[in-house]
Amino acid sequence: MSIEEQVQLLADRAAISDVLHRYATGLDMRDFALLRSIFTDEIEMDYSSIGMKPGRMMADDWVESARVLFAGFDATQHLSANHVHVIRGDEATCTSYMRAEHFVLNSEGENYYTMGGCYTNRLIRTPDGWKLCGVTLTVTWNRGNRHVLRLAARRGRERLGLA
């Protein structure tokens, strides 16, 4: 591999990891313009490991559903680590460990729900840089009060006047 190819590989790896970091930051900072900026227009999302129906959808719809859900949390923190990149020209897969903390003050049990596992992220290179076109979440462990997710969804709809 030439020095130019090595530099390009390092630049691609950094850019791909940056997309994953912006995913977490967009969610946790409630910056949904940032979150939307990391996706292609149409995406394939598989969160079946937490009970969501997998499928293709418009990124705008995914981001809007995240906006509603996250309006109901008191706080969240998403961490992404151990990125393993496989880059094939203008397509890439990045597998990463994840840990997601979700907090809702409530009187129905613990105030938190934590998930751990991994993401399999599929990306393509676009004129605007690397973009996510598909994400599979595989939760391998959890702890706390899973009801926090339902509480957040309900509170988010109420806070945004959608209930």
Cβ atoms of residues 81 and 96 within 8 Å? yes
Where do the domains of the chain lie, and which CATH numbers do they carry? 3-159 (3.10.450.50)
pTM of the model: 0.93
pLDDT per residue, tens digit, the chain (163 aa), is 899 999 999 999 999 999 999 999 999 999 999 999 999 999 999 999 999 999 999 999 999 999 999 999 999 999 999 999 999 999 999 999 999 999 999 998 999 999 999 999 999 999 999 999 999 999 999 999 999 999 999 999 999 999 7
Residue 163 pLDDT: 75
- Cα 42 to Cα 57, 60, 88: the distances in Å are 6, 9, 21
H-only helix segments in the chain: 3-28, 32-37, 59-70, 147-159
* Cα–Cα dist 32/83, whole Å: 23
* Cα–Cα dist 147/154, whole Å: 11
Q: Write the DSSP symbol of residue 52.
A: P
Residue 21 pLDDT: 97
**Residue with token string 């890439």:** 92
